Structure 1
């Protein structure tokens, strides 16, 4: 039994299965920096071995991107520190389009102050969301579904309560109370053991005795590397699965627990199709010049730079900008301001300096590379959000609050250019279930 530990159990099962085979090598403490594409197909990739600080080139018959999401471009997020959009940005730079990047899901119950996820299990067990007046405010926004309404509805309701002064005030900003005090401690530990532990350890709250402080946090990217239902991308030999991919499965707003489909179903599909392709293909040639060019870019251009800008400063400004201007409620004026800031940060990035000039386990260099990827991903999110002049799912425009199926029932595709993302669109394929008005 794993009441609220499903994800951890899945990871353990996968790891145990993978380590059961002697012929599966693991590359721990490596960082991929570039996908090498030539003639319409993928030829290889470059990666830094952090243990030695050496750049290596890999060639392969097939490549599967399963690098997760982009949550760290926001200041308050449920994501781990490694969720910096590396895979999406690497694919984007190699010519693969990113699809539907404007659709970023904000989970209504991020633990204050860290942003750690308090999962749907809490509200499924009867958890109530309360404002500072003690009101169960979801009755104003979704009177039938209440706290169990879709995440975008609940997150917007919470944000509106806080914006209008009905949130609690704390040292880490406003928050909403998640009340589960109807359970005694023994019942809580039995039904929601992980949530109990998180509340005690990270918020200093015994959730059986007092409410848990929460507020919306960046949680999931519905967008990603454009792929079909076989996880194939537009570049031969490249597959994408999990959160870094976008096959249209989640539309504009993922439902709770449906990321399991991304991981288990499409992960398996990607492995199967990549293996079939690999068995038919020979190893491609990998020109030495590709490795040399990437070594020059990373080690001379970034590690060897003596500029005035510092990665932590730029990263904090990026994350705060996304949090303040590209969050739950969006508006053209704020989005334009955010785009101007991000493009300014991209210019300033050219003048960064990494204080640690060593090669071995240089985490400062890793952070610099991650920031570069984050800036590309953030720019795509903003440009896509600016262009979509409607509200749909997790993308809510205050200046365009209605859904517009006549003009915007289509997927956004963002292609890399030196000047920034070039947008294109493709229609949503509807077979049986047509969009209807959402009523909760």
Structure 2
């Protein structure tokens, strides 16, 4: 298995529609919208007195969750949430500047923002972690001496890769780097590599058989569990134990739940065994991938005993540069954790040391 890096670092967008998870753009707050708790209070004034509702995504997401944790969340069929107020901007402004938000809210929240606020909740949005790579997309591992080693023939680019240009907390829009900049860098490097080394070899029969075995492994399960129910259990486990805020006891409980869910997945029921347009098989395969991603996230979050960037712990609320100015690395074969050094000696310019952000 390939190691994955910084899997505890998930960005939560502060304003997903409660119950649906569809994102409501930050442009709403940029136009003058603001968040309210159940008392009608603009609570962001407490957490970010200067930036208020325009603070960073992680700050706003944590603030909403603290309001909910302390009993000031709004009640609703989707559970506790905050309200995003836009109606004071007026119908003309909303229809001209935020027409997509009006449509999303009416469709998914059954709310007309011209007349009433939108129910919102922090929603998992972007993964800062992934397969550790060089800027050329070559996947990396760490040897016994703690040194980086290239994994021959394996490349990663996009959100699955961890270069790691975003560190522990991505800024909005910077994911373009993953595709536009590093996508081109990887393409150019691959072109050079193929020219020097020749074309890639064909897959062996054993490799093909292994892929087909994974594809068809649920074919005989006619009396197993509905994969939809297994997916719901996975989502609930991650939302309750590894969300915006984490805590040791909850994560230990969550890890045990994940192991149980992983066993349930082995017995998922596949009602449709056809080979064409089989969406149920796709759901099972996607759930298998989600399970591996969830377990890597859980192990990494439990491993890092501090708060840094998008990783926030109630039991370790402060950043600890002395012990944790490093990448976390999850090793799937042994299901263990280790560390990878952060490069604090770049070649072209001085390093940017971590510092406290204030709003």
**TM-score clears 0.5:** yes
Matched, 1:404 2:310: no
Extract unaligned runs of 5+ from structure 1.
1-94
2:139 match: secondary structure: coil
* Distance change (3 Å), C-alpha of 1:312 and 1:201: closer
> Once superposed, which parts of structure 1, at least 4 consecutive aligned residues long, lie more than 3 Å away?
none
Secondary structure of the 1:171 match is: coil
Q: Which residue of 1 aligns with 2:263?
A: 347
Q: How far apart, in 2, do the equivalents of 1:214 and 1:355 lie?
A: 36
CA contact (8 A) 1:237 1:277 kept: no
Q: Secondary structure in 2 aligned to 1:110?
A: strand
2:21 is the alignment partner of 1:105: no
Are 1:293 and 2:199 matched, yes or no? no
1:253 aligned residue (162, 166, 169) = 169
1:181–1:209: 8 Å Cα contact kept in structure 2? yes
SS, match of residue 114 in structure 2: coil
> What is the match of residue 38 of structure 2?
132
Instruction: Tell me the residue number matched to 1:423.
Output: 337
CA distance in structure 1 between the partners assigned to 2:316 and 2:51 by the alignment: 25
Name whichever of 189-198 and 215-224 sits farther off.
189-198
Question: How far did residue 307 of structure 1 move?
Answer: 5.3
CA separation in 2, counterparts of 1:320 and 1:268? 38
Deviation at 1:111, TM superposition (A): 1.1
Is 1:437 paired with 2:353?
A: no
Matched, 1:269 2:185: yes
* Cross-structure match for 2:147: none
- Residue 311 (structure 1) aligned with residue 230 (structure 2): no
For 1:284 and 1:319, locate their aligned partners in 2 and report how far apart those are by CA, in whole Å. 39
**Cα distance in 1 for residues equivalent to 2:94 and 2:12:** 26
Q: Secondary structure at the match of 1:200?
A: helix
Structure 1 residue 141: Cα displacement: 0.8
Could you tell me which residue of structure 2 aligns to residue 150 of structure 1?
56
Residue 226 of structure 1 pairs with residue 132 of structure 2: yes
> Residue 178 of structure 2: SS of its match in structure 1?
helix
Measured on the aligned residues, the alpha-carbon RMSD in Å equals 1.7
Q: Which runs of 5+ in 2 are unaligned?
A: 141-150, 345-349
Q: Tell me by how many angstroms 1:305 deviates.
A: 3.2
1:187 matched residue in structure 2:
93
Q: Indicate conservation of the 8 Å contact 1:227/1:246, yes or no.
A: yes
Contact kept, 8 Å, 2:87 with 2:115, in 1: the verdict is yes
Mapping of residues 17-416 of structure 1, within 5 Å: 95-234=1-140, 235-280=151-196, 281-299=198-216, 301-306=217-222, 308-416=224-332
Q: What is the count of residue pairs matched by the alignment?
A: 343
Q: Deviations over 1:46-70 (max 9, x none)?
A: xxxxxxxxxxxxxxxxxxxxxxxxx
TM-score computed with the length of structure 1 as normaliser:
0.74
Question: SS state of the match for residue 88, structure 2?
Answer: coil
